[in-house]
């Protein structure tokens, strides 16, 4: 045999891959980065029309106020890309905060940070195993996780009546201090998350799982392990977010975090991640988080006189619109 | 993974010993023996449902054996997942294309073994290498494109490239050529020969006899979950091979000829369907066809000649710019599939996977789907009547399933085709339009579908048959309408329904020099 089929090193050097058509690229971008585009649009409009919006102080407060909760959306992105869902993150967030406050009170910085991470990671691990090994539906498993974490929190805080305060002189407080630390932490974790998702085998396995679990299995991917790990990751991030937030508030607030999982899901979906799994990006989620935060801020300024129901209504309508636009774009892309 | 020991041809690299595997209601494998030597291409053949895919999945850890054992290099192995099988040196292309449609071509090719530095994927290098590798397989595409934007053939080539890229000692290919064109098959064969010369064992599953004789060294024939014959490929002739697959007598096969069609039918009376000057820009140019009760009308032509379009136009599935369809003398007022079905014209589409069956529903549900409006009263389904209908067609069409409750997705292609046929027949149609009814199904099921078509015509149904299999078209049809580029160029009747006449019609119908070059059409 003189013919060698698979490695034509001689010929390949000359040619280079053809590029996508411009239209393909544009619709693709619009679908993936639609959240970013809308974000820019809304910020520009708000800066022009809303008095006091384009103000350094206002921007800073938006960013700081959402820095730690954005980590829930980051973890959620990974889970949703696999085609799963994690409803427990709001409760785990709250539990992480209480454990951090309790830990810093009794053991200083190390315990204040490690205890919530260990517990939330363990909750994630159990959820992950139930989903991957016992093959239970993620929705049910993490709904149970939501109740469990909330219950645990009630148990260690005397039904929520005891609020542990972080000692003011604890080094732990520094983790929530000022604007730079929270914003910087979130930015660093999002960048790391982006690298993890797009540039590692683990990240690629997440996409493959969400794209087609059966195919991923037949291609020889470590399906069970990947699925388990993604819930560990999400749980740990939620616990970390809760702990850092407790440092910022200097206490373990017990009634925090209710419904945060839904906000996180909304941010992820607005960011272009498919709820059915298989496609999504961390950058999109960042845009989704910011977009929701900006809208919240505007609603707070302009609609607060109508009460919180108005802001919920506006949020709901907005979410529906974004999803509608996205699905339309995705469909157009599939047809082209 | 380097070769651990020099390949000894007498020693089996893969050795399956009396393996059994059951699914609920089906014994898919009953004590199968299967041995592959290093450096050989080993054909695994058998009718649809014989158990080939199941055997492959048992060997590669998708399923676990119930009984028996699998040995690799003489050592017993029991893989818990395809990943373990891959790590042990068995690489597999499963029958269904198993890649991730949403992910890019490059990522699919390298999934789980991406080139990386310090744990971070080097995506520039990955794309570059993917491009080079795929060009070697005749696939010249931007590797950043999502896989699903490629044609089926190109996707299959990606799957093949991926499987071969793994440093394997055994490469298993389950019907790799079912979605490949001739040129692509040649590329695949080059790859297979190269692998074989490196001492790699190749298991090759295919229904295309030509391919088997061209590329395979030895053959294992399976039937009903058992190994019935193992031999040198060259020592089994075609008829023998078919006879062994089907479990029939050799003389029996000889007598019947290549297809299962009987002689021509008695054609009686007025046309039930009159399609008059069907017209659609760039696709159909005033095509007129009449279908009479008891007659099988074949549509001849090359790819792209408008055969499927004609059938779809008659069935109301193709919007028309002009022309009319009349059933029983009454023109259809609205041009829609619903109107055509109501009038008694039904079509079995070419692509049953996407247009026809619903894999997750049972045989029963798939059959009665179209008949539901007729067998329900005030919106409620009459269960008794439903069972009656299903039972009838189950028997009549000899559908091979564990029961009418089995999911259609689990059946073989031929049986899925029969379920589709049953669905339309329970509407009591007047005319049946069949677009490639036997494509992709094995010889046994093919013969059955052919004799069914015959029987149905004899019972007075008007049938239109589209087939790329010339033998099938000629033996099955009483009359052939030949199309070329959307126009009718000839009509063959009586003795003119022959291979020679058809070839002439195809060649003469178009003065351009591409005539007869099927691959280009
Ligand atoms: N996952 C499954 N569940 C139930 N029955 C199955 C399954 N897979 C295959 N079968 C049955 O096992 C038999 C063998 O099928 P298969 O191995 O796909 O045959 P082949 O590949 O030779 O066409 C068939 O009767 C089929 O219906
Ligand atoms: Mg098969």
- By C-alpha distance, the chain B residue nearest A215 is B98
Taking phi over 0 as left and psi of -120 to 50 as alpha, with beta for the rest, A24 belongs to alpha
Mean pLDDT of B31-57: 92
Nearest CA among B360, B367, B454 for reference residue B418: B367
Contact at 8 Å (CB) between A210 and A277? Answer: yes
Chain A CB contacts of B140 under 8 Å are 15, 18
Virtual torsion, Cα B371, B377, B381, B384, nearest 10 deg: -90
Q: How far apart are CA A286 and CA A315, in angstroms?
A: 17
Q: How far apart are CA A190 and CA A53, in angstroms?
A: 25
Contact at 8 Å (CB) between A292 and A267? Answer: yes
Any ligand 1 atom below 6 A from CB of B48: yes
| pLDDT tens, residue by residue, A80-93 | 999 999 999 999 99
* pLDDT for residue A10: 36
Residue of higher predicted confidence among A107 and B510: A107
Ranking A228-237, B226-235, B338-347 by mean pLDDT, the lowest is B338-347
Name which residue sits closest to atom 25 of ligand 1, judged by CA.
B49
CA A60 to chain centre: 20
CA B454 to chain centre: 21
Does position B164 have pLDDT exceeding 80, yes or no?
Answer: yes
Mean pLDDT of A108-114: 90
- Strands B345-348, B431-435: pairing kind: parallel
Q: How far is the CA of B51 from the centre of ligand 1 (A)?
A: 6
By Cβ distance, the residue of A205, A211, A217 closest to B102 is A211
Does position A311 have pLDDT exceeding 80, yes or no?
Answer: no
Contact at 8 Å (CB) between B216 and B204? Answer: yes
Do you know the residue count of chain B?
A: 521
CA A114 to chain centre: 21
Q: Which residue has the tokens 């992910």?
A: B103
**Positive or negative, the Cα torsion across A226, A227, A231, A237?**
positive
DSSP structural state of residue A39: H
CA A272 to chain centre: 12
Contact at 8 Å (CB) between B315 and B327? Answer: no
User: Which residues 6+ apart lie within 8 Å of B399 measured at CB?
Assistant: B363, B393, B411, B415, B418, B419, B422
Any ligand 1 atom below 6 A from CB of B54: yes
Q: How far apart are CA A27 and CA A20, in angstroms?
A: 11
* pLDDT for residue B354: 57
- By C-alpha distance, the chain B residue nearest A277 is B102
Q: How far is the CA of B56 from the centre of ligand 1 (A)?
A: 11
- Residue A17 pairs in a beta bridge with none
Contact at 8 Å (CB) between A127 and A231? Answer: yes
* pLDDT for residue A199: 92
In a domain, B149, yes or no: no
In a domain, B110, yes or no: no
- Residue B284 pairs in a beta bridge with B280
B206 CB burial (10 A radius; 0-12, 13-18, 19+): buried
Does position A239 have pLDDT exceeding 50, yes or no?
Answer: yes
Q: How far apart are CA B103 and CA B228, in angstroms?
A: 42
Which ipTM was obtained for this model?
0.81
Any ligand 1 atom below 6 A from CB of B51: yes
Buried b (16+ CB within 10 A) or exposed e, A242-279: bbbbbbbbbbbbbebbeebbebbbbbbbbbbbbeebbb
- By C-alpha distance, the chain A residue nearest B161 is A6
Do you know the residue count of chain A?
A: 336
In a domain, B48, yes or no: no
Top residue of A5, A32, A273, A280 to mutate, by most chain B CBs within 10 Å, is A5
- Structural domain including B327 reads 273-356+428-520
Helix/strand/coil percentages in chain A, nearest 5: 75, 0, 25
In a domain, B464, yes or no: yes
Does position A229 have pLDDT exceeding 50, yes or no?
Answer: yes
Q: What are phi and psi of B484, to 5 degrees?
A: -145, 125
Q: How far apart are CA A328 and CA B136, in angstroms?
A: 37
Nearest CA among A51, A42, A89 for reference residue A70: A89
Mean pLDDT of A189-215: 94
Does position A107 have pLDDT exceeding 60, yes or no?
Answer: yes
Buried b (16+ CB within 10 A) or exposed e, B435-449: bbbbbbbbbbbbbbb
* pLDDT for residue B277: 92
Nearest CA among A101, A143, A35 for reference residue A256: A101
Residue B506 belongs to domain with CATH number: 3.40.50.300
Does position B514 have pLDDT exceeding 60, yes or no?
Answer: no
Does position B347 have pLDDT exceeding 50, yes or no?
Answer: yes
Any ligand 1 atom below 6 A from CB of B411: yes
Q: In the structure encoding, which two tokens stand for residue B396, read together?
A: 């009549």
* pLDDT for residue B229: 94
Residue of higher predicted confidence among B494 and B275: B275
Most confidently modeled of A17-31, B76-90, B280-294?
B76-90
State the Cα angle at A39 between A50 and A85, rounded to 5°.
130
| pLDDT tens, residue by residue, A170-185 | 788 888 778 899 999 9
Min Cα–Cα distance to chain A from B112, Å: 6
* Count: domains in chain B: 1
Q: Which residue has the tokens 């890309």?
A: A81
Contact at 8 Å (CB) between B348 and B420? Answer: yes
Does position A11 have pLDDT exceeding 80, yes or no?
Answer: no
Top residue of A205, A218, A279, A281 to mutate, by most chain B CBs within 10 Å, is A218
* pLDDT for residue B263: 61
Q: How many CA atoms lie within 13 A of B205 on its CB side?
A: 24
In a domain, B340, yes or no: yes
| pLDDT tens, residue by residue, B389-401 | 888 888 888 888 8
What kind of architecture, by CATH, is found in domain A22-335? Answer: Orthogonal Bundle (1.10)
Q: How far is the CA of B409 from the centre of ligand 2 (A)?
A: 12
Q: In the structure encoding, which two tokens stand for residue B487, read together?
A: 């126009």
Q: How far apart are CA B205 and CA B148, in angstroms?
A: 25
| pLDDT tens, residue by residue, B411-445 | 877 788 888 888 888 888 899 999 888 876 777 77
**Positive or negative, the Cα torsion across B213, B216, B220, B221?**
negative
What residue spans define the domains of chain A?
22-335
In a domain, B241, yes or no: no
Ranking A23-32, A233-242, B81-90, B342-351 by mean pLDDT, the lowest is A23-32
In a domain, B101, yes or no: no
């Amino acid at each position: 045999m003189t013919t060698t089929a698979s490695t034509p090193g001689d010929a390949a050097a000359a040619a280079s891959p053809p590029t996508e058509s411009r239209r393909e690229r544009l619709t693709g971008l619009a679908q993936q980065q639609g959240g970013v585009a809308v974000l820019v649009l809304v910020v520009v409009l708000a800066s022009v029309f809303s008095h006091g919006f384009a103000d350094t102080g206002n921007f800073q407060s938006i960013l700081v106020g959402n820095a730690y909760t954005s980590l829930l959306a980051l973890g959620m992105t990974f889970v949703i890309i696999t085609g799963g869902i994690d409803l427990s993150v709001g409760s785990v967030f709250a539990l992480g905060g209480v454990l951090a406050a309790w830990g810093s009170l009794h053991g200083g910085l190390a315990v204040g940070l490690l205890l919530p991470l260990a517990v939330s990671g363990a909750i994630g691990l159990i959820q992950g195993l139930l989903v991957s090994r016992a093959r239970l539906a993620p929705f049910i498993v993490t709904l149970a996780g939501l109740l469990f974490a909330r219950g645990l929190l009630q148990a260690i805080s005397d039904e929520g009546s005891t609020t542990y305060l972080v000692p003011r002189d604890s080094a732990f407080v520094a983790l929530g201090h000022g604007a730079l630390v929270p914003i910087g932490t979130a930015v660093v974790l999002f960048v790391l998350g982006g690298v993890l998702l797009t540039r590692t085998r683990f990240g690629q396995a997440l996409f493959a799982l969400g794209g087609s679990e059966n195919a991923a299995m037949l291609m020889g991917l470590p399906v069970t392990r990947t699925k388990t790990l993604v819930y560990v990751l999400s749980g740990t991030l939620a616990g970390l977010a809760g702990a850092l937030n407790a440092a910022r508030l200097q206490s373990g607030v017990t009634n925090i975090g209710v419904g945060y999982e839904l906000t996180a899901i909304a941010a992820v979906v607005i960011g272009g991640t498919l709820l059915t799994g298989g496609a999504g990006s961390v950058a999109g989620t960042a845009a989704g988080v910011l977009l929701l935060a900006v809208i919240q801020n505007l609603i707070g300024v302009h609609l607060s006189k109508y009460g919180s129901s108005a802001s919920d209504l506006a949020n709901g309508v907005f979410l529906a619109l974004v999803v509608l636009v996205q699905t339309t774009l995705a469909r157009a892309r599939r047809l082209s | 993974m380097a070769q651990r020991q020099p390949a000894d041809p007498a020693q089996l690299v893969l050795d399956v010993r009396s393996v059994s595997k059951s699914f609920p209601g089906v014994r898919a494998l009953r004590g199968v023996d299967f041995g592959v030597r290093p450096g050989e291409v080993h054909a695994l053949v058998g009718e649809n449902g014989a158990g080939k895919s199941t055997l492959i999945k048992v060997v590669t850890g998708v399923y676990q054996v119930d009984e028996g054992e699998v040995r690799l290099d003489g050592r017993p192995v029991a893989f818990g997942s395809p990943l373990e099988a891959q790590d042990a040196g068995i690489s597999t292309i499963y029958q269904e294309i198993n890649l991730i449609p949403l992910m890019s071509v490059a990522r699919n090719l390298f999934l789980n073994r991406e080139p990386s530095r310090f744990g971070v994927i080097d995506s520039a290098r990955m794309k570059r290498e993917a491009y080079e590798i795929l060009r070697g397989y005749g696939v010249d595409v931007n590797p950043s494109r999502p896989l699903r934007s490629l044609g089926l053939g190109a996707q299959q080539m990606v799957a093949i490239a991926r499987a071969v890229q793994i440093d394997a000692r055994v490469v298993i290919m389950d019907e790799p050529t079912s979605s490949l064109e001739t040129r692509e098959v040649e590329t695949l064969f080059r790859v297979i020969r190269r692998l074989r010369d490196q001492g790699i064992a190749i298991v090759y599953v295919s229904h295309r006899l030509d391919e088997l004789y061209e590329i395979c060294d030895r053959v294992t024939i399976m039937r009903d979950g058992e190994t019935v014959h193992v031999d040198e490929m060259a020592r089994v002739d075609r008829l023998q091979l078919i006879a062994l697959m089907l479990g029939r007598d050799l003389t029996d096969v000889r007598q019947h000829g290549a297809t299962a069609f009987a002689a021509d039918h008695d054609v009686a009376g007025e046309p039930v369907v009159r399609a008059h000057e069907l017209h659609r820009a760039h696709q159909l140019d005033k095509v007129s066809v009449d279908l009479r009760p008891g007659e099988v009308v074949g549509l001849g032509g090359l790819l792209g000649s408008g055969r499927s379009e004609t059938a779809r136009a008659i069935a109301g599935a193709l919007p028309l710019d002009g022309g009319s369809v009349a059933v029983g003398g009454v023109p259809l007022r609205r041009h829609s599939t619903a109107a055509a079905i109501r009038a008694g014209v039904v079509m079995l589409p070419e692509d049953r996977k996407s247009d026809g069956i619903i894999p997750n529903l049972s045989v029963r549900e798939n059959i009665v789907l179209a008949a539901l409006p007729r067998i329900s009263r005030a919106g409620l389904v009459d269960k008794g009547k439903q069972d009656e209908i299903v039972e009838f067609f189950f028997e009549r069409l000899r559908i091979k399933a564990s029961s009418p409750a089995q999911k259609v997705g689990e059946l073989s292609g031929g049986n899925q085709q029969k379920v589709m046929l049953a669905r339309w027949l329970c509407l009591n149609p007047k005319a049946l339009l069949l677009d490639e009814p036997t494509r992709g199904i094995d010889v046994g099921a093919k013969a059955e579908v052919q004799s069914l078509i015959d029987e149905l015509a004899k019972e007075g149904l008007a049938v239109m048959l589209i087939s790329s299999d010339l033998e099938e078209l000629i033996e099955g049809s009483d009359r052939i309408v030949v199309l070329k580029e959307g126009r009718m160029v000839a009509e063959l009747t009586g003795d003119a329904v022959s291979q020679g006449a058809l070839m002439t019609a195809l060649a003469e119908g178009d003065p351009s020099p591409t005539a007869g070059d099927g691959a280009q059409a």
